[in-house]
Each structure stands twice: as C-alpha cells, then as structure tokens.
Structure 1
Amino acid sequence: MEKVRMLSTLGLMGAMRSLSSAFEAASGIHVDADFAPTLALLKRLRGGEAADLVILTREGLDEMIGEGRVVADSAADLARSYVGLAVREGAAHPDIASEAALRQALLAARSVAYSRLGASGVYFAQLIVRMGIAAEINARATIVEQGFTAERLIGGEADLAVQQISELKQVRGIEVIGPVPHELQTPAVFSAGRMVDAQQAEAADKLLSYLALPEVVPVLRQSGLEP
C-alpha cells in the first residue's frame, strides 16, 4: 500500500486519526502519522527529519516556507483552535466567563497544568504575566513538557488543565469547562503544507485536497476545532 508520511501538531491528533482512516479507505493511501507540539516538530524538521506533509500552527508553517522547506503555494489553513480549561470528571466547574472570574479560578486552583512547548502553553505563560498572577500560578503549576495537560487532572496532580480545547478533548475522565474568554485570546490557526523534498508528493497533494473537502468540517468541529 502507498504511504504518505505526515507530521502533525498535537492539536489535530483527534481529528486526523479519524480523517486518516477515511482517507485511506477512499484513496488506498496509508497515512503514517506522528503527533507532537509544533515547536518540537520544527526542531525535528530543522534536524533533517523527512516528511511528505506537515500540519503546524500557521506561524510555524510560515517559518518552514521561509526556510524553503515547505512549498509555499501548497499551504492551506485547516482549522482554528481556542485555548480552554478542563477539570477532572465530576469536579465543580469554576466560572471563567470573564477576565476577573478566570483570574479568581486560576488563583483558587491548587495547581494549574499547562504545557511548555505547545502553542497553548506559550500563550498561557504570557496571559498570566499580563494578568499579573504569573508568580503565584507558576509557584505551584504543573508544567507538562510534551503531551496532554488534562492527564494531570486524573491523578490529582492539578485541579485545572489549560490547553487547546481539541487537545483537552483527547483525554478521558475529564470535563472541558469552556474557552478562555475570547477577548483574551488569539485563536491558533493550524495549517497544512507539502514538504519541498517530499518523497510522496502526489500522495501528499491528494491528502491536502481531501482535507479541504466539506465532509471534513463536522469531524473538525467534533474534536473541538473551528473549520
């Protein structure tokens, strides 16, 4: 079976798992996928790791285009993603509807789990500085190097987990409270592109075309993303 090698940001893991199966059934092309935070993927690509297709944050993809690694006119924006908060299943949902409420909820948490490498973690680190509560939050934060922050809710390491909503939804046994108030965030845009040195350029183009189809939209929505 023909294969296409895809490196994708964690934010699209849920959606891409089901979309890859549907694409394989329709095209007979197997998607060999690897998921990691954008910053980790950029490092791997700069280190010479081979791929046919990449899905990164728009900023990350633009860097790869600028470095001549991704074909500029292959770039396509797939989805928009908001950062949200989650609690362990059955736990009370704090009010996070306004900046003041969010501030109170964060300060009241025993520990807040957020990621170091993901776009959401970079954003959250800046947000708490802007809100003037960075020292208090970081003194007892649970920093996740890579992977899903909501996993830290299961074992009770943290009371609140912060990440892209699409990533929070990957973890069982948790409940997403909702997004950080929209006026406090700039949504991350996830974009796909074909690598300049793709071994399977034709297969990569077929997958890119497939991801632009209207039937992909409900799958993105279900996984917590906005098309």
Structure 2
Amino acid sequence: MISGGFSAALDKLAPEYSDSHGDTLKIVHGPSMGRSPQAIPNRLARGEKADVVIMVGYALDGLIKQGKIMPGTRTELADSRIGAVVRAGDTKPDIASVEALRQTLLNAKSVAWSDSASGRYVQDTLLNQLGVKQALSQRGQMVERVPVASQVASGKYQIGFQQVSELLPVKGVTFIGKIPESVQKVTRFAGAVPANAEHADEAKALLRYLASKEVQSQVRSTGLDSVPAT
C-alpha cells in the first residue's frame, strides 16, 4: 500500500526490482490519512493485509503507536516538497520569493490544493503566514480524491499546489517550481512492514532497495529529495 507522494518513484523502480529479485509487486494506492475508505490506516483497520506500507512519516508513526507495524521496520525513503503548476500554455507566475508567491496568490483567479498532507499545510498554515487566507476564501479550494494538476489541466483552476512528485507526472500542466524554502513544508516519506505481513522478509528487502544509494538518482528524478545523511 502506498500514498501518492512516493508513487511515481515506486512505479519507476518496481520493474527493475521485480526483474532482479523475482518478486511480483501488487501496488494498492491510498492516502496516508483522512476519512477516505482508501486511506491506508482505514484499510488496515478493516483487516486488509499488506506486506509493505509507504506513506507520510507522521501518519506511519500513528500506525506504529497502534501496534499495526512490525517493530524496527520503519525505513526512511525520501523527503517531499510542495510545488505549483499552471495549465500548459499559460504564463508561469513568479513564486520564487515569499512576496512573489503572495502576490501570485492574490492575483490568481482560482487556486487549488490537495486534501493530503501538503494541502492541509497550504490551507491551515501557508495561507495564514502569507496573509491571504481571507482573500482566497472564495477563490481557493481543497481538491479531494483526484490529482490537483489534473484539475488545473482541465482549466478548472488557474494554479495548483501539491507535492512536486504528484504534480510532475500529470500531462497538460507546466511546473512552476517549488515554493520558497522559508515557507516550505518538507514531508518525510517512510516505509514499514505491517504486523500481519505474510511476506515480511521480502518486504524488508524491498524497503532496503528503495532506500539504497543506488536508486537515489531515480528517486530524485520524480521530484523527491534524498533523505539527508545523518
């Protein structure tokens, strides 16, 4: 089971892993949190089984506290940052500085953000920090269950914000860039083995592979950042 931010990286690495290890990967997608029946915590609560979960780190911490995760299997995989897109062909607005980002939001006809970790940060923290939440009360919207970039590509919203790795795979949009680091929200993605995993050894091998130095260039190519060395 995997949430959106690391999905593009896993999709890129899965064929190579299957060829080299002889394991077949069945990938099931779902949010790291929330009320959706597809959310990973809700799937596990219903008794659905998985050999690996890959999700937002703090949501994984919740599963660890609940005893849903095999002790000692949490593996740090990547850091994810928030970026923005506009519809392909539209002029790219400036978001390189905090003030430029603020002005872009104030000038936008419509703005969308995701219903996952990045979107909740945009809605609950970033808009307040920039002093634009009230101004966007009628022009900003949290998009549920579908990629934000797909809604921008369709013309429904002028600009959209989500994890960079979830924006880049969508056609019909132009990637503007990441939001400034001083107002950035870095989200750690981590994997672990559920306590009821049926193939725990194979699961641990997959996590070691996904965290290995050998695959980091491919992980970064999907818009993620490698975990800083400790």
Same fold (TM over 0.5): yes
User: 1:14 is matched with which residue: 1, 4, 8?
Assistant: 8
Cα RMSD, aligned residues only: 1.3
* Paired position in structure 2 for 1:123: 121
| Equivalent in the alignment of 2:20 | 26
Q: Distance in 1 between matches of 2:211 and 2:86?
A: 33
Q: Which has the higher strand share?
A: 1
Alignment partner, residue 94 of structure 2:
95
> Hey, what's the Cα distance between the residues in 1 that align with 2:146 and 2:71?
29
- AA aligned opposite 2:27: A
Could you tell me how far apart the structure 2 residues matched to 1:35 and 1:57 are? 13
TM-score, normalising length: structure 1: 0.93
Find out whether 1:69 has 2:63 as its counterpart. no
Q: 2:36 matched to which residue of 1?
A: none
Percent identity of the aligned residues?
Answer: 35
Amino acid at match of 2:130: M
How far apart, CA to CA, are the structure 2 residues paired with 1:83 and 1:72? 30
1:106 match: 105
Native 8 Å contact 1:111 1:141 kept in 2 = yes
Task: Report how many aligned residue pairs link the two structures.
Answer: 220
Q: Answer yes or no: is the 8 Å Cα contact 1:56–1:190 preserved in 2.
A: yes
In the alignment, the residues of structure 1 paired with residue 222 and residue 98 of structure 2 have an alpha-carbon distance, to the nearest angstrom, of: 26
| Aligned twin of 1:80 | 79
Measured in 2, the distance between the counterparts of 1:209 and 1:53 equals 12
In the TM superposition, what is the alpha-carbon distance from 1:89 to its structure 2 partner?
A: 1.5
1:93-172 matches, within 5 Å, as 93-116=92-115, 118-126=116-124, 127-172=126-171
Shift of 1:169: 0.5
What 5-or-longer segments of structure 1 have no aligned partner?
Answer: 1-6
Distance in 2 between the 1:198 and 1:170 partners?
A: 30
Q: Distance in 2 between matches of 1:36 and 1:114?
A: 17
In structure 2, what is the equivalent of residue 196 of structure 1?
Answer: 195
Alignment partners' CA distance in 2, 1:178 and 1:130: 19
